[in-house]
Structure 1
Amino acid sequence: MRTCDDVVFLLDCDNTLLDNDHVQEDLRVHLKNEFGPANWDRYWEILDTLRAELGYVDYLGALQRYRLGVAHDPRLLLMSDFLVDYPFADRLYPGALDVVERLRNRALTVILSDGDVVFQPRKVQRSGLWDAGDGRVLIYIHKEQMLDDVERLYPAQHYVMVDDKLRILAAIRKVLQERVTTILVRQGHYALDPNALSAYPSADMTIERIADLKNYRGGGK
Structure 2
Amino acid sequence: MLIDTATPEPLVFLLDVDDTLLDNDRFAADLGAELERNFGAPERERYWAIYAQLRDERGYADYLDALQGFRAGLDNHPALLSMSAFLLDYPFELRLFPGALETVAHLRTLGRPVILSDGDVVFQPRKIRRAGLWQALQGDVLVYLHKQRMLDAMQQRYPAAHYVMVDDKPDLLAAMKRQLGARLTTVWVRQGHYAAAAADQRPEPAPDRTIRCIAELQERKLEDFLADAATTAGA
Range of TM-score over shorter length: over 0.9
C-alpha distance in 2 between matches for 1:13 and 1:194: 18
Contact 1:166 1:196 in 2 (8 A): no
Counterpart in the other structure of 2:131? 127
| 1:219 corresponds to which of 214, 225, 228 | 225
Per-residue deviation, 1:74: 2.3
Per-residue deviation, 1:5: 1.2
Counterpart in the other structure of 1:102? 106
Contact 2:169 2:198 in 1 (8 A): no
Higher deviation after alignment, 71-80 or 112-121 = 71-80
C-alpha distance in 1 between matches for 2:179 and 2:43: 42
Per-residue deviation, 1:104: 1.4
Paired residue type of 1:45: A
Contact 2:55 2:61 in 1 (8 A): yes
Superimposed CA distance per residue, residues 63-100 of structure 1 (whole angstroms, 9 cap, x where no aligned partner): 00111221111211111110010000000000000001
Counterpart in the other structure of 1:203? 207
| 2:36 corresponds to which of 32, 35, 38 | 32
Aligned residues: 221
C-alpha distance in 2 between matches for 1:28 and 1:196: 28
Matched, 1:92 2:65: no
Paired residue type of 1:149: A
Counterpart in the other structure of 2:233? none
Contact 1:167 1:196 in 2 (8 A): no
Matched, 1:192 2:196: yes
Counterpart in the other structure of 1:4? 8
Equivalent residue of 2:12, what SS? strand
Superimposed CA distance per residue, residues 21-77 of structure 1 (whole angstroms, 9 cap, x where no aligned partner): 000000011111110000001000000011011111100100001112211112111
Per-residue deviation, 1:142: 0.3
Q: Which stretches of structure 1, 4 residues or longer, exceed 6 Å deviation after superposition? A: none
Per-residue deviation, 1:195: 6.6
Aligned pairs for 1:156-171 within 5 A: 156-171=160-175
C-alpha distance in 1 between matches for 2:124 and 2:63: 10
Unaligned runs of 5+ in 2: 230-235
Equivalent residue of 1:109, what SS? strand
Per-residue deviation, 1:198: 3.1
Unaligned runs of 5+ in 1: none
Superimposed CA distance per residue, residues 88-119 of structure 1 (whole angstroms, 9 cap, x where no aligned partner): 00000000000011111221110110000000
Higher deviation after alignment, 193-202 or 72-81 = 193-202
RMSD (Å) for aligned C-alpha atoms: 1.2
Per-residue deviation, 1:219: 3.0
Equivalent residue of 2:161, what SS? strand
C-alpha distance in 2 between matches for 1:165 and 1:22: 17
Residues 12/189 of structure 1: CA separation in 2 closer, same or farther (3 Å cut): same
Counterpart in the other structure of 1:64? 68
**TM-score w.r.t. length of structure 2:** 0.91
Residues 32/100 of structure 1: CA separation in 2 closer, same or farther (3 Å cut): same
C-alpha distance in 2 between matches for 1:187 and 1:195: 11
**TM-score w.r.t. length of structure 1:** 0.97
Per-residue deviation, 1:196: 6.6
Counterpart in the other structure of 2:27? 23
Higher deviation after alignment, 6-15 or 210-219 = 210-219
